[in-house]
Amino acid sequence: MKSVINCEKRKDLCERTFQFALRIVNLCQEQSKNSGTARTMGNQLLRSGTSIGANVEEGKASQSEADFVSKYSIACKEARETHYWLRLLSESKLISPDKLVDLMAECNEIIAILTTIVKKVKSKKA
C-alpha cells in the first residue's frame, strides 16, 4: 500500500510540474513580442521552468537511488533558478507583478516538495 501511495504522489508531482511548465511556456509565448532584456530573461525562464518537469520525469525512470536523487536535485536547482527569473521579471516590472504572483507561489511549493523528497531519500541512505 505504501508504494502505491508513493507512486500516486509521484504522478501528482509529474502532473504538477508539467502544468507549471505549460504555464511558463504560455507566459513566454505572450512575451515573445518583446525584444532585448525581456526576451533574454524570458528565454532563461523558459529553459529553467520547463527543465523542472523534465528532470522529475527522468527521475521516474532512474536506474538507482543515486540517479533518482541526482535528477530530483537538478529539478530543485532548476526550480530555484526559475523562481529567481520570475522574481527578477516581477521586480523589474518587465512583466506585471500581478501576472507572476501565482507562478512564484507555485514555484516555491515545488521547491519545498522537491527539497523534502531529496532529503527523505538521502536520510534513508544514511
Judged against a pLDDT cut of 70, whether residue 39 lies above it is answered with: yes
**Main-chain dihedrals φ then ψ at residue 81, nearest 5 degrees:** -65, -40
Q: What angle, rounded to 10 degrees, do the helices at 97-125 and 65-91 form?
A: 160
Distance CA 26, CA 49 (A): 11
Domain count, the chain: 1
> Could you tell me what percentage of the chain is helix, strand and coil, using 3-state DSSP and rounding each to the nearest 5?
85, 0, 15
Task: Show the domain range for 66.
Answer: 2-125
Q: Please calculate the CA angle 17-102-7 and round it to the nearest 5 degrees.
A: 25
Tell me, what CATH number does 82's domain have? 1.20.1440.60
pLDDT digits (tens, 9 = 90+) for 49-93: 999 999 999 999 999 999 999 999 999 999 999 999 999 999 999
The pLDDT assigned to 52 comes to 98
Grid coordinates given for 99? 501576472
The pLDDT assigned to 82 comes to 98
The pLDDT assigned to 6 comes to 56
